[in-house]
Amino acid sequence: MQTGEDITALRKILDMTRLFSLFVLAIHFYICLYPAFAGWNWTAGITDRIVGNIARTGLFNSLMKPKLFALLLLGISLVGVKGRKEEKIDVKKQSIYISCGLLLYLLNGLAFYCSAVNTVAVLYMLMAVSGYLLILTGGVRLSRLLKVKLDKDVFNKENETFPQQEELLENEYSVNLPTEYNLKGRVRKGWINFINPFRGLLVSGTPGAGKSYFVIRHVITQHIKKGFTMFLYDFKYDDLTRIAYNTLLNNLSAYPVRPKFFVINFDDLSRSHRCNPLDPADMEDISDATEASRTIMLGLNRDWIKKQGDFFVESPINFLTAVIWYLKKYRDGRYCTLPHVIELMQRDYKELFEVIRMEKEIEVLINPFVSAFQNNATDQLEGQIASAKIGLARLSSPQLYYVLSGNDFTLDVNNPKEPKVICVGNNPAKLQTYGAVLSLYISRAIKLVNRKHQRKCSLVFDEFPTIFFNSIDSLIATARSNKVATTLGIQDFSQLKKDYGRDQAEVIMNIVGNIVSGQVTGDTAKQLSERIGKIVQERQSVSINSDDTSTSKSSQLDFAVPAAKISALSSGEFVGMVADDPDNPVELKSFHARVINDHAALKLEEDSYRPMPVIKEVNEDMVEAAYQKIKREVADLVADELTKQKKVQEAMGVQHADHQQEEPAVKKRNSKKSSKPWSA
């Protein structure tokens, strides 16, 4: 530990070293310029004897020896200088001072080329002293330079780097993304290994962050190459559908049973298959109808999601359930399609109630509505049913009716005997209309997928908040054992909260095992930063005063990827965490890296893609004919049921009249029998 006495002694030693340097230089001047000093009468006998004794040491035998020795002593004195440090010292300027000083100091021997003795002496000493002073000035200034560069890493990038997985871990289910990342200023190669996609994969990022191009497309291609069946929701049809279709064509050999490819698209009917999401064969009990009804109504009225349980939310759902189940039971589900449900619900209340009351299983569901109708509670009835009728009326479209009333395929995607790759396409311009119908397809497909003893299946939902599925959290939690991998694409946590409500959105965010995120802001960035965790980071501080400079270093835990850094990620740059399993443990689960895509190869691949094939030439007449047919079938159904009910009532009325005519005759006979004893 230094004390004040130690510092004072050191300073005295340095000052003495510098003075000795000047003394050596002065003796050198006296010896080599003695004729000039003699001419100026600056000599003395005692001085000559002292200098003569010093000269016998051999140090002054040449011109350069004493100058170099004096320069060495000056350098030693400068090394120990400790002054007040300055951050803004111009190193280049001080280096120029020292360089010029060395030139003047070492080349002052050129003065001997002058003829006059006095001129030589003055020029020689002036050049040496000037050079000495310039070296001293530059050296002292450089000694004040703050050697600790606090601003070297302004954004703390190197301090926030951490080791990541560099080994490729692959299995029959994995999705592997090549990456490059920064570790202490060095760029290294790595891998993001989603070795257990059955624990759910959440892909988030603002528009343009690269969710589809860098992550989701690789999930689609790698899963198809490994023989997965697939249900794909393509928000911007047909961006992802073309990738899935062409990848499947090139990898049919990966499947033990040749899979079939199906598309649902409401805009181009010639390139769309037809499928009935309310297939009666797949509805085992009335709970299936309830689930379908809830999906449709909440898909049409997204604000109802946060009001589930309210009277005016549950009432239209129950009524729609009753209509669906009635059509399921009517003639073994001959007319059990969503278009028939829509048309039947648009009928007059009196006709509708008389028809559906004939099915005893739904009597409990429709009793409140029938009671309100019989008691002339029109306002209440409209509040209960009108919201369902108005919402479903938006789906009354010939194009929708045509697709929804067909039966080209079933939704059991991962059936081992009939494996499928199904793509359903949305249109951002018609999101409000198509979203509810596609939600119904997804809801019915997921119920059929999440069963035992099926093929491995991948569910991919791009822009997941644009559709509604009420039990996505239970799907992720329970489908793992059935080899169902779920991939959800969202833009931001706030978007998920807006469309699904805070509670369900938080469950989805917390239950997903694998998460990869591009640029996001706000609460999403904070949650991701906390989820990735903290690492040990070095901290450095400098204290400067008039006497000394002190530097301190420490280490502490801090966020590996701060929320501000997540908010500033570039396109293709992702952070997140992977989940492992007991058979494939992953030590380094967190990552902050740039996904490497071979852009040229992907461009060539996309250029070679085949366009989506025409499935069947469909014209407007065919679509209109199917539309009118459904309307006629519903009208005939109502008419037949009312006629049948009328005949039953008439038959019951005749029986009642016969009974009334028979009753007086019986009474007359009984009265005659009872009068005989009296007459006797």
| Mean pLDDT across 611-628 | 93
| Mean pLDDT across 135-148 | 73
Query: Reduced to 3 DSSP states, what percent helix, strand and coil does the chain have, rounded to the nearest 5?
Result: 55, 15, 30
Q: How would residue 179 be classed by pLDDT, with cut points 50, 70 and 90?
A: very high
534, β-bridge pairs:
559
The per-residue pLDDT for 545 is 64
State yes or no: pLDDT of 150 exceeds 60: no
Q: Residue 102 is part of which domain span?
A: 4-143
Flag the least confident range among 194-198, 335-339, 388-392. Answer: 388-392
Interval 499-524: pLDDT, tens: 888 888 898 889 999 999 999 999 89
Tokens of 24: 């050596």
Q: How would residue 657 be classed by pLDDT, with cut points 50, 70 and 90?
A: low
Largest distance between two CA atoms of the chain: 195
Interval 443-500: pLDDT, tens: 999 989 988 889 999 999 999 999 988 778 888 888 888 999 999 999 999 888 888 8
Q: Which of 457, 380, 377 is nearest to 422 (CA)?
A: 457
The per-residue pLDDT for 660 is 55
Domain membership of residue 163 (yes or no) is no
In percent, the amount of the chain with pLDDT more than 90 equals: 44
Flag the least confident range among 145-149, 170-174, 321-325. Answer: 145-149
The per-residue pLDDT for 491 is 92
Q: How would residue 246 be classed by pLDDT, with cut points 50, 70 and 90?
A: very high
The per-residue pLDDT for 480 is 85
Q: Is the pLDDT higher at 502 or at 550?
A: 502
- Report yes or no: 544 and 146 within 8 Å, Cβ to Cβ: yes
Mean pLDDT score across all residues of the chain: 86
Q: How would residue 563 be classed by pLDDT, with cut points 50, 70 and 90?
A: very high
Residues 6+ apart with CB under 8 A from 648: none
Cα angle vertex 567, ends 556, 194, to 5°?
Answer: 80
The per-residue pLDDT for 423 is 96
Q: How would residue 170 be classed by pLDDT, with cut points 50, 70 and 90?
A: very high
Domain membership of residue 465 (yes or no) is no
The per-residue pLDDT for 549 is 65
d(CA 473, CA 459): 14
Most confident among 405-414, 461-470, 531-540 (mean pLDDT): 405-414
State yes or no: pLDDT of 546 exceeds 60: no
Domain boundary among 110, 143, 176: 143
Flag the least confident range among 227-236, 477-486, 625-634. Answer: 477-486
Q: With H, G, I as helix, E, B as strand and everything else as coil, classify residue 522.
A: helix
Q: Which of 199, 175, 177, 204 is nearest to 489 (CA)?
A: 204
Residues 6+ apart with CB under 8 A from 634: 335, 340, 343, 344, 347
Domain boundary among 143, 171, 200: 143
Domain membership of residue 316 (yes or no) is yes
Q: Is the pLDDT higher at 79 or at 286?
A: 286
| Mean pLDDT across 373-380 | 78
Domain membership of residue 162 (yes or no) is no
- Report yes or no: 306 and 331 within 8 Å, Cβ to Cβ: no
The per-residue pLDDT for 325 is 94
Q: Is the pLDDT higher at 153 or at 284?
A: 284
Sheet of strand 186-194, all strands in order from the earlier edge strand to the far edge: 186-194, 175-183, 590-595, 573-577, 514-517, 201-204, 484-490, 457-461, 229-234, 420-425, 260-264
Domain boundary among 103, 127, 143: 143
Q: Is the pLDDT higher at 471 or at 351?
A: 351
Q: Which of 27, 112, 35, 118 is nearest to 67 (CA)?
A: 27
Interval 99-140: pLDDT, tens: 998 898 888 888 887 878 888 888 888 998 898 888 888 887
Number of domains present in the structure of the chain: 2
d(CA 402, CA 37): 119
Domain membership of residue 11 (yes or no) is yes
Element of type H or E holding 131: helix 117-143
Domain membership of residue 448 (yes or no) is no
| Mean pLDDT across 265-293 | 92
Flag the least confident range among 67-81, 222-236, 338-352. Answer: 67-81
State yes or no: pLDDT of 656 exceeds 60: no
Omega before residue 379 within 30° of 0, cis: no
Domain membership of residue 125 (yes or no) is yes
The per-residue pLDDT for 481 is 87
Domain membership of residue 61 (yes or no) is yes
Helices (DSSP H) in 569-615: which residue ranges?
A: 599-607
The per-residue pLDDT for 232 is 96
| Mean pLDDT across 620-645 | 93
Q: How would residue 653 be classed by pLDDT, with cut points 50, 70 and 90?
A: low
The per-residue pLDDT for 425 is 93
